[in-house]
Amino acid sequence: MPLLAVGSVALDSLETPFGRREDVLGGSASYFCTCASFFGPTRLVAVVGEDFPEEHVRFLASRAIDLGGLSRRPGRTFRWKGRYEFDLNTAHTLDTQLNVFAEFRPELPEAYRDSEYVFLGNIDPDLQRTVLDQVRAPRFVACDTMNFWITSRRESLLRTLKRVDLLFVNDAEARQLAGEHNVVQAARRILGMGPRAVVVKRGEFGALFFSGEEVFAASAYPLPAVFDPTGAGDSFAGGFMGYLARTRREDHATMRRAIVLGSVLASFTVEQFSLDRLRTLGAEEIRARYAEARRLAHFDDLELDLFDVSTPS
């Protein structure tokens, strides 16, 4: 069964130390679906305005992305304008124009209602639940959120969390949601809110996965050049969920591979502006970087005779 994703399709204007771009393709669902589509078909639920360029629609359609749930409404497309400083870690929002996204009420085409894998992108938690209400029997639901919803719509977010299997957050969001600085303790508290798994994304430092007593730490692929961090988190989620939906397994070993694949997809996304790197990316490159990630993290067992000096034991 294909994967369903709800989120934003946007036009981004970006400034980084390496250049700027105006009105390029962006939005959480664009990154998510493009990355997930390497693994199988993906169903998109989003809204754009009358000004949304046809070339972007053609690009998304070329990627095994079902656009039956992409509605075009009178008005302008959601626009985000942001700037990154040299450290590239923090996005400084310069301007947000919700436009048609302000009235977004996700409606699933009948053909989408049998989706088993669902990704609830970073939108109002009320809307996230209306999406879930329209899916007949979701098998695995993952959810993204942000500081804005954690502070301003906390009760609604907590209701959503009771209905999801996995939450994607970054360190700061995990701390904020849990009210706890230590990230291990924060993840444990979040597991108590409903999800059976939490992925804490740490940008250039990788990601942590928590589920029950299981902990997995994935290092990010150390890139010699990062161009534009926009979309890294949604690319991560897209690689992760695409792989899960493809394998139809949710055991911990599968989740670990999914996290590394998410990290690999994100590492490609940030190499160029917008979705540009994903346009030329091939399956063999994904596979090669996954193998690279294996070499990067590998170390052997210890020799057995290591501690025979006179130390306490």
Contact residues for its own copies, defined by CB under 8 A = 37-41, 63-64, 86-87, 181-185, 188, 202, 204-206, 208, 215-220, 222-226, 243, 246-247, 253, 256-257, 259-261, 280-284, 286-287, 290-291, 294, 296-303, 306-307, 309-313
Residue type, 32: F
Nearest residue (CB) to its own copies, 102 versus 184: 184
Identify the H or E element spanning 216.
strand 214-218
Residues in contact with 292: Cβ distance below 8 Å, sequence separation at least 6, in sequence order: 221
Q: Which are the contacts of 251, defined by CB distance < 8 A and separation ≥ 6?
A: none
134-141: long-range pairs with CB below 8 Å, 24+: 134/106, 134/107, 134/108, 135/4, 135/108, 139/1, 140/116, 140/165, 140/166, 140/244, 140/245, 140/250, 141/117, 141/165, 141/166
Residues 6+ apart with CB under 8 A from 81: 12, 13, 14, 93, 94, 95, 96
Minimum CB distance to its own copies, residue 239 (Å): 11
Q: Which is nearer to its own copies, 162 or 287 (CB)?
A: 287
DSSP 84: E
- Least distance in Å: CB of 27 to its own copies? 20
Q: In this complex, which beta carbon is closest to its own copies, that of residue 34 or of residue 122?
A: 34
Nearer to its own copies (CB atom), residue 102 or residue 291: 291
Closest approach, Cβ 224 to its own copies, in A, equals 4
Q: How far is the CB of 33 from its own copies (least distance, A)?
A: 12
Beta bridge partners of 25: 11
Q: Which is nearer to its own copies, 196 or 256 (CB)?
A: 256
Shortest distance, position 200 Cβ to its own copies, whole Å: 9
Nearer to its own copies, 2 or 231 (CB): 2
Kindly state the smallest distance separating residue 124's Cβ from its own copies, in Å: 30
